[in-house]
Each structure stands twice: as C-alpha cells, then as structure tokens.
C-alpha cells in the first residue's frame, strides 16, 4: 500500500460522479474511486479521506475500453478514456439534467449530447519547468503540482504535433529565471500561435533570441504575457465567413467542431431575428456568424477581443452592421430599456455565469434568449431567474467538445410568453 493508506477492500461502484470518479455509497457517505465505472466490482486502497485508489478491477463494466493515451492515469488532462464514447456522452447529458433538477428548473427538452470533439483540441497549455538543470514540459497530474512530461497529446489536432517541441525550446531558452512557465499554443490557419506566461520582462538580447527561436520553429506569432514579440504571419481563425486575427491568449472554444456546433444551435435559436445583442461576445464566434443575416450589437469587456471582432466584421464583405461596445457586464449589465427593441439576445459568459445580466433580462420582453454555458450549475442558477420571470426553456442541448474530461458545454433556448412580446 501507499503511504497513508489503511486497508484494501472490495467494493461495488454505484454511479459515476460529476468529476468522472466512480462512487461507492458507504454509511459514512460517498467514496470516490478514480478510473472505476458503475457496476464494476473493484479492489481499492482506503486512506483517511473520501478518496480511494483503484488497485484492480475484479468485474469490469461492459462500457470499459482500453485507454489510447500512454500518459492516461498520470496526466490530469483526461479522466475518462476508460469509458466508451456513447455512455460518456450520456453521462455528460446527465450532468446537465442533474444541475437543472438541483436548481428546481424544468426544461422543455434536454436533447441528446452533441458529439463535438472534431479533429481534436486546437489549443494546449503546457507547463514548463527547469528540473535538475534540464527543461521539462508537460501537463500537471490530477489534483497535484507534479509535472507529467509528454512528447505528444493524442486528443489534440494533428496540426499541434510540433507544440511540445516548441514549448520545450522556449522553456530551455528562458531557463535563467528559474520561474515556472505556462505556454499556451493555439493552432491557427497560419500555424502555431504561442503565448508565454510566468516570465518577467526580457532584455533586448533575450528578446532577440526568442524572436530567432520563433523563426526556427516557424511560429506564426510569439507573445510574452500578451505582448507580441514577433508576428511572422497573422494568426487567423475562421468564424463563419470571417477570418479573425485572435489576440494573444484570448478565449477560443476548445475545438473547431465545438464552436461550429454551438454556433449552429445559436443560429437556429435566433432564427429570423433582425436585431440581435451578443453579450460576452469575445472575438465574435457567434456575432460574426449572426451578422451574415442580422444586425448585431456585440458587448465584451476584453478590449483586445473586441478589437479583433471589430476588425474582422469590417473586413468581411457582405455582413450586416456589427456595433461593438466595451462593457463589464458583471458590473454594468444591459438594462431592460437598452433591450427594448431587440429581437434576440445571445450570451456566453465565463464559468461564473451571468447572474446580474439574468436579473435584467428577466425584466425584458425579448422574444428569444440563447444562453451558451460552460458550467451547468451556474447556467441552472441563471435559468431559474429567467423561468421565475415567465420565460420558458424550449430546449437545452449539451455539447461535448472536451472528450474524456468532465467539462460539458450547453446551449439553452428561452422563449418569452407571447403576452410579453
């Protein structure tokens, strides 16, 4: 047994938890067993807490499959590669349904989870460390600060195959500071876009070396804390017909297929609306697509993202007018008077949700609200506000672009009562 473990026992897994752990019901409460599946009989090593270590699987589930990544079980990025894809999608739909039930919210329909992993992740964030005098690059182990060095990530797009090498070269180049680095690598039409975090300002000599390394690695762009050191080619990402030069380190949906699936659901929801407000608009994954058929007012607090959206809108022929506004929607949500002549509202807040904006939307007569969320719990909280004000949830659709991880996106469509329109 490992240090701190007290006993090895045989247990049966009752269900799968929201973080991907198998759960055993005990008189003292739930016991969490990573890498175990419902219905399995397993041997586990007990410790002092509520988590146990899987020792062996005595009776496997028919839904168990062989993990395809050699780092699985050590790297903390993927937690459910041992679960077949169809039950994984169903499990994620259950997470959404459970969050709504916990908030006392009834949805008209919870659609089947949309498969949206596509060609894989288009962005990876590596951790770079100098250990025993050598550069090491990888991901963190689950619930740990231990670094798992990797040479390749099989859940990433093939175009990111050179990302670990780039991260290693840059970590080695910046080894003099001794500081841990975060190296975000994004796949764009122009190649790899790299943004480094964790290192302080660099002098002219080191800056020149970094620019030289970007050339040798054929990077599209290299930035340090968002400060562009060199841009050899514009790092463009397609959003509908528009080509967006994304800002360094700016938010981007995890997969291209995921963004397309979410945008398709949003476009279906807004339908023939002529005036649409896009809140938490980012660099425009929804606004730029909606503008192909409707006027859009895009609101975002991140100045760089908003500028990228504005440039793309102005540079794309055939779009309807797109008006942009810089605004902190947590502190200054749009008021009902500002939404009086709007046909539809789209919002895609961060994990914290949009409680302040939901309270203001509850006072409006907007016919359609399409709420995109990466956190079912905060979505359910905000949905309860809208439903309490008379809005009806027409449909909630889970979208899974984070295959083998517990994260799930969703799009909820709300309709106002006809009497309020």
Q: Give catalytic residue positions.
A: 374
Could you identify the residue written with the tokens 């990530």? 153
Measure CA of the first residue to CA of the last residue in the chain; give whole Å.
65
CA dihedral 26, 32, 38, 39 (to 10 degrees): -50
Residue 256 has phi, psi (to 5 degrees) of -65, -40
Could you identify the residue written with the tokens 């807004």? 270
Helices (H), 74-127: 85-102
Q: For residue 369, count other CB atoms closer than 10 A to its CB.
A: 27
- Secondary structure of residue 407 in the 3-state scheme: coil
CA–CA gap between residue 173 and residue 212 (Å, rounded): 11
- Are the C-beta atoms of residues 96 and 410 closer than 8 Å to each other? yes
* Exposure string for 382-408, b = 16+ CB within 10 A, e = fewer: bbebbbebebebebbbbbbbbbbbbeb
Helices (H), 287-353: 287-290, 303-315
Beta bridge partners of 128: 137, 181
Residue 43 has phi, psi (to 5 degrees) of -100, 130
- Are the C-beta atoms of residues 14 and 24 closer than 8 Å to each other? yes
CA–CA gap between residue 213 and residue 134 (Å, rounded): 18
Eight-state DSSP code of residue 258: H
């Amino acid at each position: 047994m490992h240090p701190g473990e007290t006993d090895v026992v045989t247990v049966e897994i009752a269900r799968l938890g929201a973080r991907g752990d198998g759960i055993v019901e005990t008189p003292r409460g739930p016991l969490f067993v990573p890498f175990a599946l419902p219905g399995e009989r397993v041997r586990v090593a007990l410790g002092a807490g509520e988590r146990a270590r899987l020792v062996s699987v005595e009776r496997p589930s028919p839904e168990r499959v062989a993990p395809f990544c050699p780092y699985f079980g050590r790297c903390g990025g993927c937690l459910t590669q041992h679960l077949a894809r169809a039950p994984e999608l169903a499990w994620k739909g259950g997470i959404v349904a459970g969050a709504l039930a916990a908030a006392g919210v009834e949805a008209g329909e919870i659609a089947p989870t949309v498969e949206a992993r596509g060609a894989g992740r288009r962005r990876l964030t590596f951790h770079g460390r100098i250990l025993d005098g050598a550069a090491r690059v990888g991901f963190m182990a689950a619930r740990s600060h231990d670094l798992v060095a990797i040479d390749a990530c099989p859940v990433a797009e093939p175009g990111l195959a050179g990302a670990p090498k780039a991260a290693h070269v840059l970590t080695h180049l910046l080894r003099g500071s001794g500081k841990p680095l975060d190296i975000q690598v994004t796949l764009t039409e122009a190649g790899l876009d790299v943004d480094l975090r964790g290192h302080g300002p660099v002098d002219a000599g080191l800056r020149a070396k970094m620019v030289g390394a970007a050339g040798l690695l054929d990077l599209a762009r290299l930035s340090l804390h968002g400060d562009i050191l060199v841009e050899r080619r514009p790092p463009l990402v397609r959003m509908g017909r528009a080509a967006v030069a994304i800002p360094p380190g700016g938010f981007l949906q995890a997969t291209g297929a995921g963004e397309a699936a979410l945008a398709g659901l949003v476009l279906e929801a807004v339908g023939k609306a002529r005036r649409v407000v896009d809140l938490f608009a980012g660099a425009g994954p929804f606004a730029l697509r909606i503008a192909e058929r409707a006027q859009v007012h895009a609101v975002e607090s991140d100045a760089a993202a908003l500028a990228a959206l504005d440039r793309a809108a102005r540079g794309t022929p055939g779009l309807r007018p797109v008006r942009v506004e810089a605004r902190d929607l947590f502190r200054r949500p749009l008021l009902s008077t500002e939404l009086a002549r709007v046909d539809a509202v789209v919002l895609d807040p961060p994990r914290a949700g949009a409680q302040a904006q939901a309270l203001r939307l509850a006072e409006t007569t907007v016919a359609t609200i399409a709420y995109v969320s990466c956190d079912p719990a905060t979505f359910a909280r905000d949905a309860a506000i809208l439903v309490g004000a008379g809005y009806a949830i027409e449909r909630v659709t889970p979208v899974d672009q984070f295959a083998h991880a517990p994260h799930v996106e969703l799009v909820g469509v709300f309709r106002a009562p006809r009497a309020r329109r």
